[in-house]
Amino acid sequence: MSKKKHKWISKKKNGNVEKRESFIKKEGKPLVSPMSGDRVRLNISPIIIPALPNVRTPFTDVVHGVEFQVQHAPSKHEDQRNEEEFSALHVAADHAGCGWWRFHEIEDMVNYTKRGYVINSGLRFNREYFMSIGFDAIRMQRQVGPGRFEYWSDIKQMINEMHLKTRLIFELDDIVIGEKMPDYNEAKSAFSDKETVDSLHKMLELVDELTVVSPYMRQLYRKHHQTTKISVIPNFASRSWFDGRFDLDRRMKEYEKHKKRPRILLSGGATHVNPYDHSLYGETDYTKCVDSIISARRDFEFVIMGVLPPVFRAFIESGEMIYVPWANLPDYPRRLNELDVQCSIAPLSVNDFNRAKSSIKWQEACYMGFGFAGQDLDPYAEARHRFNVGEELIDILKSITKDEQSYQEEIEFNRKSADKYWLDDKINDIITIYKTPYGDPKREKIKWFVDLNPAQFYIQKKS
């Protein structure tokens, strides 16, 4: 290494390194305004020396074999944004139904109505990125695993060091406690190993709040994570996605067309059936109703969409039932509308996983103006018709479709029930929830939120 001293540093006799004025000034002027509020450290391998203020962009330089790197050190960060502005980061678990219902709809509504901006990304950004944006909230969906915990722990530390207002929100729209998941759910193995379970516990201790889809889900997580602040936010759909499909006159014409053999929709994703169990009577969410559905196949034309239980294959091949593949999410409401069904059904096994589910199948029927019959479980508590066993399901379907008056009353009731599930009417409330801490007085002004989260405001739940 050359003995020539670098023009920006000099070494004293005691071995200390001192900075020279030429490092922070150029032509007599500071390189960066001293009011910016950030401080940096200069890395001179292998030691770290406090260096100069207000260098906002990290850089690396090598001079005579000595590496210099600027790192942000703890300092208060002054947020210059208007308090009315809103920005958030979404880190979705997937770009399927979970990501769409819980994140995508919110993003579109915020971004394209100019209420602020929400970014959706699964990328891992550096610390400077989070600081430069100054998000109101970062909402992460099912971020579990040791590596993810370490990353978000670092981000949380940076938020605290820089005194940012960013809130970390954890999002779970399903139960991810392995012991609470049914064996036929293909995702169970991913949430059963000790390492994953431990990381979930750590993540929930790290974040500012956990959001879930239902009161029962909150109840289950509360048992496992007593100190976590948990809020219920239901699923909402935008009018631009699901509205405009219901036409009473059309529904009644379809009813008349299929009156002798009404069309009944059974739709669902892969977690309702074990995709690797090809036995005819392997356990599924539909087990209790399978025999009754098969027995009633001449009274009703069952349309199976998405998941296909093996026991129905023979009847689809014979033309006694109809199978249609799942649709891309943007096209999903249109595809439902084209099926000409009179009712949809939602059979479920009775277990904690299903009790904690959201009410999506009930909501879809309401948006579309279909008749509906759901398992007598928490997600469908608001539906007019609920059943426990297959025989009850078939009796309900016969009752709904027995005559024009009964059918019209059913679909009009369901369509009216859709009014409480439109995102357009809730988006400002959700922005408020993102921006405010658990129990904040601003949240208490949101009636639907208080109804679902009374304990957050020390309100006794009505019996």
- For residues 213 and 438, give the distance between their C-alpha atoms in angstroms, rounded to a whole number: 16
Q: Do residues 388 and 320 share a domain?
A: yes
d(CA 118, CA 137): 10
pTM higher than 0.85, yes or no?
Answer: no
**Quick check: is 462 in a domain?**
no
Residues 50 and 149 in one domain: no
**Cβ distance 344 to 396 under 8 Å?**
no
Q: How far is CA 261 from CA 22, 307, 321, 343, 368, in A?
A: 88, 23, 12, 12, 20
Q: Which of 313, 326, 321, 325 is nearest to 282 (CA)?
A: 313
For residue 237, what is the DSSP state? B
Q: Domain for residue 9, yes or no?
A: no
Q: List the domain range (segments joined by +) for residue 159.
A: 87-232
**CATH no. for residue 352?**
3.40.50.2000
- The Cα-based distances of 100 to 122, 267, 445 in angstroms read 14, 17, 27
Structure tokens given for 158: 């940076």
**Contact assessment for residue 209 and residue 167, using Cβ atoms and an 8 Å cutoff:** yes
Pairing verdict, β 66-73 and 60-63? antiparallel
Asked if 178 contacts 191 with a C-beta cutoff of 8 angstroms, the reply is: yes
Please report the pLDDT score of residue 209 as a whole number: 97
Are 110 and 431 in contact by the 8 Å Cβ rule? The answer is: yes
Query: CA 160 from chain center: how many Å?
Result: 25
| Whether residue 51 is found in the same domain as residue 174 | no
The answer to the question of residue 367 being in a domain is yes
**H helices of 267-389, where?**
287-295, 313-317, 332-338, 352-355, 360-368
The span from the CA of 207 to the CA of 319, in Å, is 52
| Digitized pLDDT (tens) for each residue of the chain, 463 residues in all | 444 444 444 445 555 544 444 334 445 554 444 444 344 444 444 444 444 344 344 444 444 444 444 444 444 445 445 567 899 999 998 888 889 999 999 999 999 999 999 999 888 888 778 778 889 999 999 888 888 999 999 999 989 988 889 999 999 998 887 778 877 777 777 777 788 888 889 999 999 999 999 999 999 999 888 889 999 999 999 999 999 999 999 999 999 999 999 999 999 877 777 666 666 677 788 889 999 999 999 999 999 999 888 899 999 999 999 999 999 999 999 999 999 999 999 999 999 999 999 999 999 999 999 999 999 999 999 999 999 999 999 999 999 999 999 999 999 999 999 999 999 999 999 999 999 999 999 999 999 999 999 999 988 766 5
Assign 456 to helix, strand or coil: helix
Q: Which of 24, 48, 18 is nearest to 10 (CA)?
A: 18
Q: Beta strand 386-387 with 371-375: parallel, antiparallel or unpaired?
A: parallel
Tell whether 209 is covered by a domain.
yes
Please report the DSSP string for 181-192 in residue order. Answer: S-TT-TTGGGGT
The whole-angstrom separation of Cα 342 and Cα 404 is 12
Is residue 5 situated within a structural domain?
Answer: no
d(C-alpha 145, C-alpha 203), whole Å? 9
Structure tokens at 121: 């990304």
Residues 129 and 66 in one domain: no
Secondary element (H or E) of residue 433: helix 427-435
Report the CATH number at residue 130. Answer: 3.40.50
Query: CA 155 to CA 124: how far, in whole Å?
Result: 10
From the CB of residue 149, how many other CB atoms can be counted at a distance below 10 Å?
19
- Do residues 59 and 93 both lie within one domain? no
Report if residue 195 sits inside a domain.
yes
Rounded to whole angstroms, how far apart are CA atoms 309 and 300? 18
Asked if residue 175 lies in contact with residue 356, where contact means CB atoms within 8 angstroms, the answer is yes
In a domain, 16, yes or no: no
Asked if 260 and 364 sit in the same domain, the reply is yes
CA distances from 371 to 42, 148, 317 (A): 68, 43, 27
Residue type at position 271: T
Tell me: do 144 and 193 sit in the same domain.
yes
- Answer with the one of 14, 44, 75 that is the final residue of a domain: 75
142 & 173 share domain? yes
- Cβ atoms within 10 Å, residue 178: 17
pLDDT computed for residue 315 by the predictor? 96
CB 20 within 8 A of CB 9: yes
Residue 284, strand partner residues: 273
140 and 279, same domain (yes or no)? no
Domain boundary pick from 75, 98, 133: 75
* Same structural domain, 225 and 285: no
Residues 258 and 405 in one domain: yes
**Helix, strand or coil, per DSSP, at residue 154:** helix
Q: Are residues 227 and 181 in the same domain?
A: yes
The set of residues, in sequence order, having a beta carbon less than 8 Å from that of 290 and lying 6+ positions away, is 281, 284, 309, 311, 312, 390
What does the alpha-carbon distance between residue 461 and residue 57 come to, in Å, rounded to a whole number?
52
Domain for residue 124, yes or no?
A: yes
Domain count, the chain: 3
Cα angle at 165 between 140 and 125, to 5 degrees? Answer: 45
